[in-house]
Amino acid sequence: MAVYTEVSDVELSRFIASYGLGELQSYKGIAEGVENTNYLVQTAKGPFILTLYEKRVARDDLPFFLGLMEHLAGNGVSCPTPLHDNHGNALSELCGRAAAIVTFLQGVSVSRPSIDQCEAVGRALAQLHLAGNDFALRRSNALGPAGWQPLFDDFASRADEVAEGLGRTIAEELSALQAAWPQYLPQGVIHADLFPDNAFFLGGKLSGVIDFYFACNDAFAYDVAICLNAWCFEQDFSFNAAKGRALLAAYDAVRPFSAAERAAMPTLARGAAMRFLLTRAHDWLHHDRDALVSPHNPIDYVHRLRFHKTVRSIADYGLT
């Protein structure tokens, strides 16, 4: 279970008292956490999520993440909302870690999204982009194109330990992406990590979006490309055009794509596949065997990358 920091009942009771949540009734670690320690906390006033931010999350970024969730929730996006303590602070400290409590979001994530669920995510992503337009804080995308080569340099000499020829594949693709990467696309706040495990469904409907700890400012269409990679490929790595069509059309109905965004989608999808191939390969090679979670297989994104290299237009993803 991914609980990096253990919290005692005495410490937690004292902590939640500062939020006026009533008596602590129970708490348990949440296994799905990767970057941070998460607890489901049951109090007299209901369930909440406690997050303790571990070393991989920069403390200076936390006001952006927490402020963004509060801003989006205030503009109609269903997402966890940070609570403020008795002094008005959304960010506190517990067990030597920066910590926050957010509202509990009902629902479950899915492992094999349906066409309807892809449609719902496309619509929700467009609404999120519009809702974040007037968010005052900014955060650059540390895992955008400018960060890919330095990330690769950190494991290039070992890349073929993951798969034979992977180093050459990545090097060639990085060169091609650098030359073709689109500029001046519409930008704003993006989620940047909207995978199926970060969306909850309840009664067949999308109940909300979670995990904003990669959110940043970047091209809206790049965020859509991340979702194409995350939601529209099957277990055998084939692309499901019906899912792609549902996701793209639902997004386009809320926030219409510009001509430049449509033209750029194949390159953006290749770039999104490269981003997750790089981070997964890096984590695969630098994984601590005593770690509490297992790294994702980077080869999944090699297959996606191969498909995107065959795509010529957004129509190949289903949007005519």
pLDDT of res. 3: 62
pLDDT of res. 1: 41
In a domain, 61, yes or no: yes
Q: What is the mean pLDDT of residues 108-113?
A: 95
Between 291 and 116, the higher pLDDT residue: 116
Q: In this structure, are residues 188 and 114 in contact, taking their beta carbons and an 8 Å threshold?
A: no
Tens-digit pLDDT profile for residues 239-252:
999 999 999 999 99
Residue 168, pLDDT > 70, answer: yes
Q: How would you classify the pairing of strands 199-202 and 205-209?
A: antiparallel
Report the sign of the C-alpha dihedral through residues 152, 155, 156, 161, in that order. negative
Summary mean pLDDT of the chain? 94
Nearest CA to 285 out of 153, 121, 106 is that of 153
Q: What is the mean pLDDT of residues 157-161?
A: 97
**pLDDT > 70 in the chain, percent:** 96
Tens-digit pLDDT profile for residues 201-214:
999 899 999 999 99
In a domain, 2, yes or no: no
310 in the same domain as 209: yes
Alpha carbon distance, N-terminus to C-terminus of the chain:
44
Tens-digit pLDDT profile for residues 252-270:
999 999 999 999 999 999 9
Residue 2, pLDDT > 60, answer: no
79 in the same domain as 128: no
pLDDT of res. 153: 97
In a domain, 177, yes or no: yes
Domain boundary among 78, 103, 128: 103
Nearest CA to 54 out of 20, 4, 92 is that of 4
67 in the same domain as 37: yes
Tens-digit pLDDT profile for residues 8-45:
999 999 999 999 999 999 999 987 656 789 999 999 99
What CATH code is carried by the domain that includes residue 88? 3.30.200.20
Tokens of 312: 């010529």
42 in the same domain as 123: no
In a domain, 141, yes or no: yes
Domain boundary among 52, 80, 103: 103
CA 198 to each of CA 25, 27, 189, 225: distance values in angstroms, whole numbers, following the listed order: 27, 21, 17, 16
- Rounded to whole angstroms, the Cα distance separating 191 from 172 reads 28
pLDDT of res. 149: 97
240 in the same domain as 98: no
Residue 116, pLDDT > 80, answer: yes
pLDDT of res. 54: 87
Show the domain range for 168.
115-317
136 in the same domain as 97: no
pLDDT of res. 289: 60
Q: How far is CA 243 from the centre of its chain?
A: 19
**pLDDT > 90 in the chain, percent:** 90
Q: In this structure, are residues 187 and 112 in contact, taking their beta carbons and an 8 Å threshold?
A: no
pTM for this structure? 0.94
Tens-digit pLDDT profile for residues 39-92:
999 999 999 999 999 877 889 999 999 999 999 999 999 999 999 999 999 999
pLDDT of res. 55: 77
pLDDT of res. 320: 86
Q: How many domains are there within the chain? A: 2
Angle between helices 166-180 and 299-308 in degrees, nearest 10 = 40
Domain boundary among 103, 129, 150: 103
246 in the same domain as 184: yes
Q: What is the mean pLDDT of residues 185-213?
A: 96
Partners of residue 52 on adjacent β-strands: 37, 99
3-state secondary structure the chain: CCCCCCCCHHHHHHHHHCCCCCCEEEEEECCCCCCCEEEEEEECCEEEEEEEECCCCCHHHHHHHHHHHHHHHHCCCCCCCECCCCCCCCCEEECCEEEEEEECCCCECCCCCCHHHHHHHHHHHHHHHHHCCCCCCCCECCCCHHHHHHHHHCCHHHHHHCCCCHHHHHHHHHHHHHHHCCCCCCEEEECCCCCHHHEEEECCEEEEECCCCCCEEEEHHHHHHHHHHHHCECCCCCECHHHHHHHHHHHHHHCCCCHHHHHHHHHHHHHHHHHHHHHHHHHHHCCCCCCCCCCCCCHHHHHHHHHHCCCCCHHHHCCC
- Rounded to whole angstroms, the Cα distance separating 65 from 72 reads 11
In a domain, 109, yes or no: no
Residue 292 phi/psi, 5-degree rounding, is -85, -15
199 in the same domain as 66: no
Q: What is the mean pLDDT of residues 110-126?
A: 97
